[in-house]
Homo-oligomer: A and B are copies of this chain.
Amino acid sequence: MIHLYNVTKIYPNGVKALSDVTLSIRKGEFVFLVGPSGAGKTTLVRLIFREELPTRGQVIFNGKNVGRMRMVEVPYLRRRIGMVFQDFRLLPQKTVFENVAFALEVAGSGRRDIRKRVPVILNMVGLAGKAGMYPAQLSGGEQQRVCVARAIVNNPVLIIADEPTGNLDPETSWELMKLLMDINRRGTTVIMATHAWDIVNAMKKRVLALTGGRLIRDEEQGAYCYEA
């Protein structure tokens, strides 16, 4: 489903965030992306999401070269990916309900569909009571869960979660992980960048480890570790 061939990303200011990364992720997999702060995890998922273009190498998503995609195709790529951003990116002028509904509106869903689906998803992430609030009125962890809700509401074929438990207590984190596993079990591919070593170790899923922009380990049923 996702293939990276010799991907290097150098930011305009000269920082080499990824160097020569090659990897493949099959449909239906659950992959952890680990590595120290600044290793390039977010950069890697940004390339798949086409938030950034690779400096060298190719990123293939469902047989399409993401880097060479025309501008008009990009929205349709993004609609098939549910992204939990590390920096949340909630629309400040919209309520929780509207933020989640927006992902559906973008894809052209009808109002009835939206009014049925959004409350179900908000309930799943434990925010049933906060539907009418604005992002600024939420706690950090609540905002993070709105992002998760927004990412999964659209039934995407791929979910990318960039540190989705950074602001959550262990209990809520585990509930979230169960939710992601459920979705994964129903066939959705999941990529999760994380620092939660306890979760990674307990889940025994595939682990990709980055350090300084290099892919140094790729283990099925791996543990949290990013030493070579």
Contacts and interface: CB of A to CB of B under 8 A. Distances in A.
A28 interface: no
Given A170-B197, A172-B36, A140 B86 contact: yes
Nearest to A144: B37
B36 A167 contact: no
A42 B133 contact: no
Number of copies: 2
B36 A140 contact: no
A165 B38 CA distance: 14
Nearest to A133: B13
Contacts of A162: 140
A167 B13 contact: no
A139 B195 contact: no
Nearest to A170: B197
A98 interface: no
Interface in A170-210: 170-173, 195, 197-198
A36 B195 contact: no
Interface majority SS (helix, strand, loop, mixed), chain A: loop
Contacts of A170: 195, 197, 224
Interface in A124-183: 133, 137-142, 145, 162-163, 166-173
A141 B172 contact: no
B195 A15 contact: no
A113 interface: no
A87 B140 contact: yes
A24 to B, nearest CB: 24
Contacts of A86: 140, 167
A11 B163 CA distance: 29
Nearest to A197: B170
Given A37-B142, A168-B195, 20 more contacts: A13-B133, A34-B169, A35-B169, A36-B141, A36-B171, A36-B172, A37-B145, A37-B167, A37-B169, A37-B172, A38-B138, A38-B141, A38-B142, A86-B140, A140-B162, A140-B166, A166-B166, A169-B195, A170-B195, A173-B195
